[in-house]
Amino acid sequence: MRARELGIPFEGTPGPLNAITDVPGVEVGMVTLVSGEGSLVTDQGPVRTGVTAILPVGANRARDAIPAGIYSLNGNGEMTGSHWIAETGGLTGPVMITNTHAVGTVHRGVIEWTKKHHPESAIEWLLPVVAETWDGYLNDINGPHVTTDHAIAAIEAATSGPVAEGSYGGGTGMNCYSFKGGNGTSSRIVHFGGTDYTVAAFLQCNFGDRDELRIAGVPMGDLDVPNPMGEPGWVSEDRSRAVPGGAGSVIAVIATDAPMLADQCRALARRVPLGLARTGTAGGHFSGDVFLAFSTAGAGELSSGFPTTRRSEATLRNLSFVPWNFMDAFYNAVVQSVEEAVVNALINNESMVGRDGHMSHALPHDLVMQRITSRT
């Protein structure tokens, strides 16, 4: 069940799937790794992790550069390839999201996939984009469980259909506001110049302190979890064993089919924190909050050939864009879709037990709706 289906109110008009795949051409694939239980044995488990692949213009056009921009609210995190995106305003290839200690492996997986499917790109240099959040509360994060083959499989599994939310792919072992977190996505329709465009967000949510949480503007920070596992004698959640809050990170990917310049994509990325703030967070010091935004409208227009292309063979390129003074509707769409994506990650989820018996409780739907309805 997603947040809207539960009855939580949100502003704006979503696309058909209310997901990042509402942007034409965007595909998402995931590999989920869940095995083992009990005490942590490094390199053996328990395993609660995975990898997510977002293909902005699909697998066949993965070598086409598109306008993109990055913004970091707090830099205690990683997104490889970000310096080149900042330098050129362009993004090429898949966007991967995994756990903190699997970045290198997934990076290599993208290279292996590109060698096979786009060898003309691989003969030069590759700067894959791989982002991360930390899942060590539930997962044997130091174990080599995410492999290059998993990264390849996530890319090859990418489709344009509904997107798995909650505890799947890179979001498998993540927590949000000390509840079970992970993946969330949402989209908004923006009408401009006689055309309906889509702005959409995909988040890997692993951030926030329980006391900060707000949903639809209603404080939820003092919620207890009533007997989520059917345990006899349960009274209320033992806060001393609750998921540590305030750290962990959030990665946001914003996609649109509206024509944008690279600076406008950066402007979209800078609006992500405003959507996060609607859910309560003030941005923790130990949380890596890194955001990427891209426009698919200019696919291929930034590509000017490989370094071996002769200058005499190069041609001028043209790129359309939304006038700056009409960007507000797109900014609003980012804020609205980010807020709903966070709540979807919390709502469309289940409790999970990880290493050493660590429990991450799902957000209690009934208590949330009791509070929201009592305020309306």
Residue 234 has a pLDDT of 39
Are the C-beta atoms of 268 and 229 separated by less than 8 Å? no
**Of these residues, 287, 295, 337, 360, which one is catalytic?**
287
35-49, 158-172, 227-241, 251-265: least confidently modelled range? 227-241
Write out pLDDT tens, residues 258-308: 999 999 999 999 999 999 999 999 999 999 999 999 999 977 777 644 454
Residue 98 has a pLDDT of 98
Give 89 or 308, the one with higher predicted confidence: 89
Residue 225 has a pLDDT of 73
Residue 61 has a pLDDT of 93
Alpha carbon distances (Å) from 284 to 97, 169, 275: 20, 24, 15
Give residue 66's pLDDT band: very low, low, confident or very high (50, 70, 90). very high
Give the three-state DSSP class for 307: coil
Instruction: State percent of the chain over pLDDT 70.
Output: 92
- Identify residue 310 by its one-letter amino acid code: R
What does the alpha-carbon distance between residue 254 and residue 177 come to, in Å, rounded to a whole number?
Answer: 22
Q: Are strands 195-205 and 179-180 parallel, antiparallel or unpaired?
A: unpaired
* Catalytic (active site) residue 249: yes
* Catalytic (active site) residue 289: yes
Residue 233 has a pLDDT of 40
Q: What is the mean pLDDT of residues 106-124?
A: 93
Is a pLDDT exceeding 60 seen at residue 239? no
What is the DSSP secondary-structure string of 242-278?
Answer: SPP-S-S-EEEEEEE-S---HHHHHHHHHTHHHHHHH
Residue 360 has a pLDDT of 95
Q: What is the mean pLDDT of residues 357-362?
A: 95
Task: Please report, in angstroms and rounded to a whole number, the separation of the first and last CA atoms in the chain.
Answer: 22
- Identify residue 305 by its one-letter amino acid code: G
Q: What is the mean pLDDT of residues 103-129?
A: 94
Residue 354 has a pLDDT of 97
Question: What value does the mean pLDDT of the chain take?
Answer: 92
Residue 238 has a pLDDT of 55
Q: Are strands 129-133 and 95-99 parallel, antiparallel or unpaired?
A: parallel
Write out pLDDT tens, residues 145-183: 999 999 999 999 999 999 999 999 999 999 999 999 999
CATH architecture of the domain covering 3-228+248-303+321-368: 4-Layer Sandwich (3.60)
Residue 303 has a pLDDT of 63
**Of these residues, 167, 178, 186, 249, which one is catalytic?**
249
* Catalytic (active site) residue 360: no
Is a pLDDT exceeding 80 seen at residue 243? no
Domain boundaries, the chain: 3-228+248-303+321-368
Alpha carbon distances (Å) from 171 to 47, 161, 354: 13, 18, 14
Residue 115: CB partners within 8 Å, gap ≥ 6? 122
Give 153 or 226, the one with higher predicted confidence: 153
Residue 235 has a pLDDT of 42
**Of these residues, 178, 186, 289, 360, which one is catalytic?**
289
Ramachandran bin of 166, using left for φ above 0, alpha for ψ from -120 to 50, beta for the remaining angles: left
Is a pLDDT exceeding 70 seen at residue 374? yes
